[in-house]
Amino acid sequence: QIGFFTIGIAGISAVVGGLGVMNTMIMSVMERRREIGVLKAIGATNSYVIRMILIESTIISLIGGLLGLGVGYLGSKAIGAFSGGQAQGIVTSNLALNSMLFALFLGVVGGLYPARKASQLSPVEALRYE
């Protein structure tokens, strides 16, 4: 029963994390409309704009994953210390690798919609935007 609860919490956390990345990237695209318009006006292709946004969202997610991994590791050590050794949090290298791969996945998925929207911007409309 605890396993289902843990999976539920992890699933909710993943959805919130993905939406957080998407929201951050949408705001980034909105703030950089003129920059994207200039890039497209001087010849940047749609695939270049998509790649640029996806790389940015992936980097943001990986940084968040590393920070989360650090907080999780410290939290597991704190739980072990405060419980007098009765509870131990174990962070294995496999768990760390899977966490980072999942953060990478969330970064790509969370960046797809903003990247597609950024690539569809018309250079004229983007440059007119103020």
- What would the pLDDT profile of 58-117 be if each residue is shown by its tens digit? 999 999 999 999 998 898 888 888 887 787 777 888 988 998 999 999 999 999 999 999
Residue 1: pLDDT over 70: no
Q: Confidence band (pLDDT; 50, 70, 90) for 130?
A: low
Q: What is the pLDDT of residue 25?
A: 94
User: pTM score, two decimals?
Assistant: 0.83
Longest dimension (CA), the chain: 65
* Number of Cβ within a 10 Å radius of residue 31: 9
**pLDDT at 2 > cutoff 80:** no
**How many CB atoms are located within 10 Å of the residue 111 CB?**
29
123 or 6: whose pLDDT is higher? 123
C-alpha distances in Å from residue 62, one per residue of 23, 82, 106: 16, 30, 9
The model's pLDDT over 92-106, given as tens digits with 9 standing for 90+, comes to 889 889 989 999 999
Reported in sequence order, the residue ranges of 55-125 that DSSP labels E, i.e. its strands, are none
Q: Which residues contact 48 (CB under 8 A, 6 or more apart)?
A: 39
> 57-82: buried (b, 16+ CB within 10 Å) or exposed (e) per residue?
bbebbeebbeeebeeeeeeeeeeeee
Q: Is 89 exposed, middle or buried (0-12, 13-18, 19+ CB in 10 A)?
A: middle
